[in-house]
Structures are given as C-alpha cells and as structure tokens.
C-alpha cells in the first residue's frame, strides 16, 4: 500500500510539473541545442561521442567552473568572502595541484571514460534527440544521483579517515588545509577510484539517455568545486538546494580533519552526529560576532 501511495504521489508531481511546463515560454536555446546535438549525431560515431565527448565535457566543465575561484584571489573585494582568510592560495600549491590533476584526469579517469560507450551499448542507452528527457526529468535524475553519491561518499570517506589507512590514501587530499576549487579532484589515484564509484551508481540506476551522463558530470563538478572553493559567496544558487552543505561545511572538514564527511548534503552527518564539532564551531563564531557588536555599540 505504501509503495502504491508513493508511486501515486510521484505521478501526481510529474503531471503537475508537466502542466506548469506547458505554460512556460519556449526556450530560445532549445532549437540551437537541438541542431548542435543532431549535427553531432550525424558527424560522429557513438564511440567518439561517448568517449571524447565525455572527456571534453569533463575537462571544459572542470576548469571553467574553477575559473571564478581562481580569479577571486586577485580581487581584494572578494577576500571578505574567503573562509580561511589567514591561508591565501599560493602559486606553488596551485601548480602542484594542477600537475596531480592532469595525471588523474588522463591516467585514471580517461580509461574509465573509455568504458562509457560499452556501458551505453550494454544497457541500450539512447543518444537520439527524440528520446531525450525533459529538463525537469534531468534535474530530478541528477538530484537522485546526488543523493546516492552522497550516501556512498559519506560512509567511504569516513572509512578513509580511519587511522589505520588515512595516511596511505586520503592524506593526499588533505595536504591543503584551506581548499581551493581546483583541488576538488586532487587525490590519491585509489581515492579517485573508491569515492568516484559513487558517481557511477546513480548513473546505473537512473540513466535513460546519454545526456544524463553529461548533465550529472556537470552537476557533480559544480557541487564539488563549490564546496572546495574556499569562498562563501552570497546569493549562491546552490544554496537553494534542500539540505545543501556548501563551502563552509566542507571547508571546516579540511580545517578540522574530523567530521562533515558528506559530499553534498548535511543529513548523514546530522544523523550520525559527525557534525557536532562544526555546530560547536558555528556557535562560538556567532557568540564572538555578538560580543564584537556589543563592544562596537
């Protein structure tokens, strides 16, 4: 009975979103996107699209999303939004990070990306425009992928902090106490494989079109680069996502090393009490702000 009720609720929500979508104006970018997509299908093989297309989407998205945070370090006005203001970025750290990133991207992630074509063939994942899901279905699927990845990340990330294995794998990622966007995928190759597995579980569960692979790549990179950015920017649209952890939450993990293990959401840390040090830290900061205000008045 409970399952049937849940299905009815989901169907009702889907119909409601479809009804609302029917009143929205046509997206002016839809036709150019359709033309570009069909051009790609007409001029490249599925293997080329799945392999080299996925690599291009990953690399372009990663470094373009890192660019704002990289520029912020040169803008004095943005420094008030930096979380750990006493630990600025350095060229030495950023160059070291870039070298490791390029190794991971092309020697670890590229071989995995090469399996994308065989994955889509095995599960008969379509590429054509006609079967592409609507924008709201893509958003819902990406959210579902994020929920699954977040659960995987919490428990495996917490395991990687175990004193018997931390120094062998996860210590690499914690070389930077004050993170910056480009450092999001700076990790030991084994960690890239272990934590990266969570990314693919959601794809196996939800994927019904090639576009979801790329949409989920972009969403995941947007989230992980944001939480590693080192900047808490006001009016960040990601803060509209329910239970979103954000930069301050994960920045504290790098600063404190213990707690705040989840990647995207706050609920696992809340359930298991691994955010208690962060909560105490926030309370102390609020009390200090109140004392400062009283003294100034």
Check pLDDT > 50 for residue 7: no
pLDDT digit string (tens) for 34-78?
999 999 999 999 999 999 999 999 999 999 999 999 999 999 999
> Cα–Cα–Cα angle for 208, 7, 24, nearest 5°?
65
- Tokens 């840390």 -> residue: 269
d(CA 208, CA 168): 38
26: β partners: none
d(CA 239, CA 236): 6
Residues making up the chain, counted from first to last: 297
Query: Whole-model pTM?
Result: 0.89
pLDDT digit string (tens) for 22-36?
666 777 888 999 999
Instruction: Reduce the DSSP state of residue 217 to 3 states and report it.
Output: helix
244: β partners: 265
The beta strand positions in 192-236, using DSSP E, are none
Give residue 110's region: left, alpha or beta (phi > 0; psi -120 to 50): alpha
- Residue-averaged pLDDT of the chain: 90
Nearest to 104 by CA among 171, 176, 192: 192
**Residue 94's pLDDT is what?**
95
More confident residue, 288 or 64: 64
Percent of the chain with pLDDT over 70: 91
**Residue 23's pLDDT is what?**
61
d(CA 273, CA 111): 38
**Residue 2's pLDDT is what?**
46
Arithmetic mean of pLDDT, 203-231: 96
């Amino acid at each position: 009975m409970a399952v049937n009720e849940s299905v009815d609720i989901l169907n009702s929500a889907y119909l409601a979103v479809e009804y609302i979508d029917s009143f929205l104006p046509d997206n002016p970018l839809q036709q150019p996107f359709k033309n570009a997509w069909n051009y790609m299908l007409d001029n490249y093989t599925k293997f080329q699209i799945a392999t080299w297309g996925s690599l291009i989407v990953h690399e372009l998205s990663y470094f373009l999303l890192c660019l704002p945070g990289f520029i912020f370090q040169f803008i004095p006005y943005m420094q008030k939004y930096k979380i750990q203001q006493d630990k600025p970025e350095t060229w030495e750290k950023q160059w070291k990070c870039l070298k490791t990133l390029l190794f991971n991207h092309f020697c670890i992630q590229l071989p995995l990306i090469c399996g994308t074509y065989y994955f889509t063939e095995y599960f008969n994942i379509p590429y054509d425009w006609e079967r592409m899901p609507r924008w709201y279905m893509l958003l819902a699927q990406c959210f579902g992928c994020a929920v699954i990845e977040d659960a995987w990340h919490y428990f495996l990330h917490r395991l990687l902090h175990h004193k018997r294995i931390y120094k062998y794998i996860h210590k690499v990622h914690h070389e930077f106490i004050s993170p910056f966007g480009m450092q999001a995928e700076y990790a030991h190759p084994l960690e890239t494989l272990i934590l990266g597995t969570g990314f693919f579980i959601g794809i196996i569960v939800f994927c019904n079109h090639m576009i979801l692979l790329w949409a989920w790549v972009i969403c995941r990179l947007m989230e992980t680069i944001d939480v590693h950015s080192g900047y808490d920017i006001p009016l960040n649209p990601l803060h509209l996502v329910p239970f979103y952890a954000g930069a301050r939450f994960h920045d504290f993990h790098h600063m404190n090393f213990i707690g705040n293990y989840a990647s995207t959401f706050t609920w696992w840390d809340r359930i298991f009490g691994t955010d208690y040090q962060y909560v105490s830290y926030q309370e102390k900061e609020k009390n200090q702000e109140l004392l400062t205000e009283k003294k100034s008045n």
